Amino acid sequence: MFLRNSSRLISALPSSTILRHYHKNSFISKMSSLNATVPSAMPIDNAANEYRKRVLSDSSNEPVQSQKKGKKLKLKKYKAKKVDSTSPLGVLQFEIDELLNSENLTRKSVVNDISSILNDKVKDESSVTSKYHRVVTDVKVLSVSANGDGLAIIDNPVEDNKKQVVIIPFGLPGDIVEIRVFKTHPHYVESDLLKVIKKSDIRKDDLIKCKYFGKCSGCQYQFLTYDEQLIMKRNTVANAYKYFAPKLCKEELIPKIGDTIASPLQYGYRTKLTPHFDVPRKVKEFEEKPPLGFGQKGRPHWRTETISEGGSASILDIEECIIGTDIINKGMSNERKKFDEEFTKYKKGATFLLREHTRVIDSNTNVGKIIEEEEASKDSSNDNKISYIELNDEQNNKPLVKTCVTNSRQIVTEYVDGYTFQFSAGEFFQNNNSILPVVTQYVRENLILPDVNGESAPRYLVDCYCGSGLFSICSSKGVDKVIGVEISADSVSFAIKNAENNGVKNCNFIVGKAEKLFESIDVPNDRTSVILDPPRKGCDELFLKQLAEYNPAKIVYISCNVHSQARDVEYFLKETENGKLYKMDSLRGFDFFPQTHHVEGVCVLTRV
């Protein structure tokens, strides 16, 4: 989260009092404390006493009878759920603290009386809940979270001299807005954006392309210029290291964060979408078709002209997703037609897989025949026609045919950087094909080890969390041997086939947890570079310790969660014996998901 005016000033990251505070509380210093608990409302007992007094003095209330019968009033207690500190909720707590610090406030000054709300039985306007959950106007948005939500401070409606932190989806720093607060948590409240009274300088509503924008949980940034989106993402990277790598920040070990690398396509890029529907618990049989699409983000009113689009249920009925590729949208339209006829057969909610499948064909290939064969090989429950699009691959001047696959076991193909990749549609593969050549080239260039005494020496590569071999294969030229390790046996079987199909002979792949690598590694550390591309939760401590012991010459760490990446990098550099021998060469974001808040962090470490 950042204050807009300071957003362009990031070079070396500052250490701040708030960072020291986190450190003191061992948020960061111990890997074992990574499962931070969102602090519960501190005054729960006071509030409970207040509540007791209030309800027991009101003769119209049920609890009074309990008292008459001598029964002790039992109050519901708030139980904070454990959250991973690098998850969106965990990060929010850091962002809230930073905002409070900048406004000279403390957590105590924004604590909400959760107990009163939990135990509120009165249903009219005098209820404490209705005091909390109200419309507030003239709210100035102060900052934006890594999740793309605006943050602001408003007055506490029940306790004088206290404030509240409010989350405002689709609020931008500098906006003056009207909101409806609808949910209360110990240290913040959630709201819907009702009206933008005065627009922030960066708000460009005329850029919005999608009628569901502002309601759908998929995109957060369509109203920003693309340059502004890239700046936002750079700030997310900066803040991630500020929150999760405070020692590195304090010792100024983090290089100037590079500009975020743009995606060549800013719309129509997503090669995978997963629309879903819910079956409400009490419904035994559908009377009408449930909405099929993506989650709704609150109940906003600020886009009056499109407010009814997609309906008002928690899942929006979405016909087209503007960030999806053309063929994915065709597939979505097919699945929706099928769902029109078949929704009564479902007893519970389901998610539909839509995955793009691309093939380069010869100019004299009969596309109709390929499609017929594909239809014949589909699973028997799926008898609708396959959609396809014919295109020309501009780079290679060859015709392409694209289809949309819905069966998670079906094999799909993607072309990246001159290589062909196949994988099961339901397994992991990156979702934005247009940026992949840019990323694979960047990774390849940053892995290169220098010659020794002016002479070329052997070079080795280890690809941890290698999936179906994307980085292994794209970086295989110019190295003597590649070892990939990956937990999914299915992905590894594709990695082996992909290497074979691309004529790549120097790759070996291991099935297992990343640390399995160290059981049999036979390449010299001094001549080995390592790629890390773990899932959102980041690397295990056990793995990082062994990586530090192995002590490779270079590491390129790619991550879809810059917060867990920052935590891991700090742990590696500061908390492991050999990690201290490394220097962070570069750090920057890659924009895999334009229009959304997501950013992929790429960090390069060199042994010094």
Ligand X SMILES: C[S@@+](CC[C@H](N)C(=O)[O-])C[C@H]1O[C@@H](n2cnc3c(N)ncnc32)[C@H](O)[C@@H]1O
Q: Which residues from 557-586 bind ligand X, rule CB under 6 A?
A: 560
* For ligand X, the closer CB: 142 or 560: 560
Q: Catalytic: 404? A: no
Closest approach, Cβ 486 to ligand X, in A, equals 5
Measured from the CB atom, the residue of 532 and 605 that comes closer to ligand X is 532
Query: Could you tell me which of 81, 91, 227, 224 has the C-alpha nearest to residue 151?
Result: 91
Is 93 among the residues that bind ligand X (CB under 6 A)? no
- 408 touches ligand X by CB under 6 A: no
Comparison of 85 and 475: residue with beta carbon closer to ligand X: 475
Nearer to ligand X, 326 or 490 (CB): 490
Number of other residues whose CB lies within 10 A of the CB of residue 476: 22
Pairing mode, strands 149-155 and 143-144: antiparallel
Name which of 349 and 418 has its Cβ closer to ligand X: 418
d(CA 65, CA 292): 47
317 touches ligand X by CB under 6 A: no
> How many residues make up the chain in this entry?
608
Nearer to ligand X, 23 or 513 (CB): 513
The verdict on 73 binding ligand X (CB under 6 A) reads: no
Distance, CA of 405 to CA of 569 (rounded, Å):
37
> Which residues of 95-188 form beta strands (DSSP E)?
135-140, 143-144, 149-155, 163-169, 176-184
Other beta carbons less than 10 A from residue 495's beta carbon: 30
Q: How many CB atoms lie within 10 A of CB 580?
A: 12
Does residue 491 bind ligand X (CB under 6 A)?
yes
Nearest-approach distance from CB 324 to ligand X, in angstroms: 19
What's the closest the beta carbon of residue 551 comes to ligand X, in angstroms? 20
The residue range among 43-51, 199-207, 276-284, 485-493 that interacts with ligand X, by the rule CB under 6 A, is 485-493
Query: Rounded CA gap, 201 and 219, in Å?
Result: 20
241, 249 contact by CB (below 8 A) = yes
Task: Give yes or no for residue 149 binding ligand X (CB under 6 A).
Answer: no
For residue 128, which of 165, 156, 166, 168 has the smallest C-alpha distance? 156
Please identify, among the stretches 249-257, 394-402, 427-435, 519-527, the one whose residues bind ligand X according to the rule CB under 6 A: 427-435
Instruction: Please identify which of the residues 216, 464, 507, 560 carries the catalytic annotation.
Output: 560
Q: Is residue 475 within the footprint of ligand X (CB under 6 A)?
A: no
Q: CB of residue 491 vs ligand X: minimum separation in angstroms?
A: 5
Q: How far is the CB of 502 from ligand X (least distance, A)?
A: 15
Q: Is 145 in the site for ligand X (CB under 6 A)?
A: no
Q: Which residues contact 150 (CB under 8 A, 6 or more apart)?
A: 141, 142, 143, 144, 167, 168, 169, 170, 171, 172, 173, 175, 177, 193
| Pair 436, 482: CB distance under 8 Å | no
* Amino acid (one-letter) located at 117: I
- Report the chain's C-alpha Rg in angstroms: 27
Of the candidate spans 98-106, 249-257, 394-402, 463-471, the one that interacts with ligand X by CB under 6 A turns out to be 463-471
| Residue 58 annotated as part of some ligand binding site | no
Query: Residue 539 is encoded by which pair of tokens?
Result: 């690397």
Instruction: Report the residue closest to ligand X, judged by CB.
Output: 467
Is 222 annotated as a binding-site member? Answer: no
**Interaction residues for ligand X, span 222-241 (CB under 6 A):** none
Binding mask 504-543 for ligand X (x = CB under 6 A): ---------xx------------------xxx--------
Q: Are 41 and 186 in contact (CB under 8 A)?
A: yes
- Note whether 324 binds ligand X by CB under 6 A: no
470 binds ligand X (CB under 6 A): yes
Q: Is 430 annotated as a binding residue?
A: yes
Q: Is 488 in the site for ligand X (CB under 6 A)?
A: yes
Stretch that binds ligand X, among 219-227, 346-354, 381-389, 423-431 (CB under 6 A): 423-431
**Three-state DSSP string of 108-125:** HHHCCCHHHHHCCCCCCC
**Which residue, 223 or 428, has its beta carbon nearer to ligand X?**
428
Which residue's structure tokens are 């998610």? 351
Binds ligand X by CB under 6 A, chosen from 465, 557, 571, 590: 465
Rounded to whole angstroms, how far apart are CA atoms 86 and 537? 8
Q: 582 among the known binding-site residues?
A: no
Q: How far is the CB of 490 from ligand X (least distance, A)?
A: 9
At its nearest, how many Å lie between ligand X and the CB of residue 470?
4
184 contributes a contact to ligand X by CB under 6 A: no
- Long-range CB pairs of 321-324 (<8 Å, 24+ gap) are 321/210, 321/218, 321/270, 321/273, 321/294, 322/209, 322/210, 322/267, 322/268, 322/595, 323/218, 323/219, 323/267, 323/268, 323/269, 323/270, 323/593, 323/594, 323/595, 323/596, 324/268, 324/270, 324/273, 324/354
Choose among 241, 244, 243, 253: nearest CA to 98. 243
Residue of 389, 487, 504, 581 that binds ligand X (CB under 6 A): 487
Instruction: Tell me how many residues contact ligand X (CB under 6 A).
Output: 19
Under the binding rule (CB under 6 A), the answer on residue 415 touching ligand X is: no
Q: Name the residue nearer to ligand X (CB basis): 533 or 575.
A: 533
Q: Does 482 bind ligand X (CB under 6 A)?
A: no
The yes or no reply on residue 280 touching ligand X (CB under 6 A) is no
Cα 175 to Cα 140: distance, rounded to the nearest angstrom? 6
Q: Least distance from C-beta 548 to ligand X, angstroms?
A: 17
What residues pair up with 270 in beta bridges, in sequence order? 324, 432
| Residue (119 or 424) nearer to ligand X, CB | 424
Residues with Cβ < 8 Å from 519, sequence gap 6 or more?
Answer: none
Half-sphere exposure of 588 (CA within 13 A, CB side): 17
Q: Which residues are annotated as a binding site for S-adenosyl-L-methionine?
A: 430, 465, 486, 533
Q: Which residues are catalytic?
A: 560
Write out the residues near ligand X by the rule CB under 6 A.
428-430, 465-467, 470-471, 485-488, 491, 513-514, 533-535, 560
Q: Which residues are annotated as a binding site?
A: 430, 465, 486, 533
